[in-house]
Amino acid sequence: MAQKIFKSKIDQALVIVPFVFFMVVTAFMVYGEERISAILVTGGILLSTALFIAYIAHGMCYIINDGILYVQCGILYRKHLEISRITSIKRTRDPISAPAASLDRLHIAFDTHSILIVSPAHREAFVQRLLESNPNIIQSIIHGDNGKNL
């Protein structure tokens, strides 16, 4: 089976909110008549942080290749999981820290008590690809507010 790359779904709020916050902080500094050097340093730090968040969000992906799920989150996080170890998949909106740039997530259980939370943009194709590698995965179909399945 050929390698397949699934980009992470990105909730725009996760990228826009930090930018707005940083702009508001900088605006308060300008209107508060802070020294220009303080504004530039703070603005530079905040802009660098916002750009780093955007880089992480847009660089997040899940790769399925030869029975292994690879999770990549920029330069910060890399994990691989043998798909044969996956026992179940279900939808979740759990905000727990995870390599997922959206709250529209999948809870992947593996081994006895381990989990991996992901947010592929094309959830159905992602799950189907996992099932092709491991048809024993239990799917918990959970209807959200929009009535869509897994």
What's the half-sphere exposure (Cβ side, CA atoms, 13 Å) at 22?
A: 18
Do residues 19 and 50 make contact, with C-beta atoms less than 8 angstroms apart? yes
pLDDT tens by residue, 114-127: 999 999 999 999 99
pLDDT tens by residue, 12-49: 877 788 888 888 888 888 888 888 898 889 888 988 88
Do residues 42 and 30 make contact, with C-beta atoms less than 8 angstroms apart? no
Domain ranges, ordered by start, for the chain: 1-150
Q: Which two tokens stand for residue 117?
A: 């939370």
The per-residue pLDDT for 137 is 92
Q: Note the pTM of the prediction, 2 decimals.
A: 0.79
Of 116, 144, 145, give the one whose Cα is nearest residue 130: 116
